[in-house]
Structure 1
Amino acid sequence: MDFSLLFSVSVFCIFTFLASYTSIATDILTPNQNLTDGQTLVSSNQIFALGFVSPGNSGKRYLAIWYHKLPLTVVWVANKDNPINDSSGSLTISSNGSLFLYNSSMAVVWNTSDTVKGHSPILQLLGTGNLVVRKQAETDEGNEYIWKSFDHMSDTMLPGMKLGWNLKTHTSNYMRSWKSSEDLSDGEFTFSLDPPETPQLILRRGSTKEYRWGPFDGDRFSGGNRLRNNTLFKPIFVSTSDEIYYTYETLDSSTLVRSIVTPFGSIQYLAWRNNSRDWSMAVEINRLYCDRYGMCQNYGNCYADDPNCRCLKGFVPRSPGDWRVYDWSAGCKRRYDLNCSNGDGFVKYEGLKLPDNPVLWANYSIEECRAGCLQKCDCVAYTRINPLGNGSRCVVWFGELIDLRDFPNGGEELYIRMARAELDSIADNKRRRRIRLVVAITMLTPFVLLLLVILGWYIRRSKRRREEDTIKMPIANDRNGLPHYRDESQEEDLELPIFTLANIFAATDQFALGNKIGQGGFGPVYKGDLPNGVKIAVKRLSQNSGQGLREFKNEVILIAKLQHRNLVKLLGCCIQGEEKMLVYEYMPNKSLDSFLFDQMKRKLLPWKTRFNIVLGIARGLLYLHQDSRLRIIHRDLKTSNILLDSEMKPKISDFGIARIFGGEQTEEKTRRVIGTYGYMSPEYAMSGHFSVKSDVFSFGVIVLEIISGRKNWGFYDPDHDYNLIGHTWKLWNEERSLELADGMLNGSFSANEVIRCIQVALLCVQQKTEERPMMSTVVFMLSNENVELPQPKEPGFVSESSATKINSSWSCRDSNTDNEITCTTVEGR
Structure 2
Amino acid sequence: MGMLAGTSFLYLTLLLLSTVAVEFCICRDSISRTEFIRDLESIISNGGTFKLGFFSPPNSSERYVGIWYNDVPSSPVIWVANQNRSINDSSGILKLSDDGNLVVQNGQNETLWSSDVSTAGVNSTSAQILDSGNLVLRGAQLNTLWQSFEIPSDSFLSNMRISHSQGKTELTSWKSPSDPSIGKFSMGIDTAMRIPEIFIWKEGSPYYRSGPWNGQAFIGVPRMNSVYLRWVRVSNDDRGTVYLTYSFANESFLDYFQLNYEGNVVELYWDDGEERWEIRWLARESECDYYGKCGAFGTCDSKMSPICSCLRGYKPKKLEEWNSGNWTSGCVRSAVQQCERMNTSLNGKSGESDGFHKLSNMKVPDSAVWLSDEESKCPIRCLSNCSCKAYAYDSGIGCLVWYRDLVDTSGSFYENTVSKVKIIVALIVGVIGLAFSGYFMWRWISKSRESRKTRIQRSPLRGLPRDDPKQVKLEDLPLYNFNEIANATNNFSLNNMLGRGGFGPVHRGRFPDGQEIAVKRLSKFSGQGMQEFMNEVLVISRLQHRNLVRLLGCCIEGDERILIYEYMPNKSLEALIFDPMNRGHFNWEKRRNIIAGIARGLLYLHRDSRLIIIHRDLKASNVLLDEDLNPKISDFGMARIFGVNEDQANTRRVVGTYGYMSPEYAMEGQFSEKSDVFSFGVLLLEILSGRRNTSFYLDEQFLNLLGYAWRLWTDDRDGMVNFINPLIVDADTQPVILKFMHMGLLCVQESTKDRPNMSAVVSMLESEIVDLPAPNQPAFLNSLMASNMESPQQSQKASSVNSVTISIIQAR
TM-score (norm 1): 0.44
Between the two structures, name the one with larger relative contact order (CA 8 Å, sep ≥ 6).
Answer: 2
TM-score (norm 2): 0.45
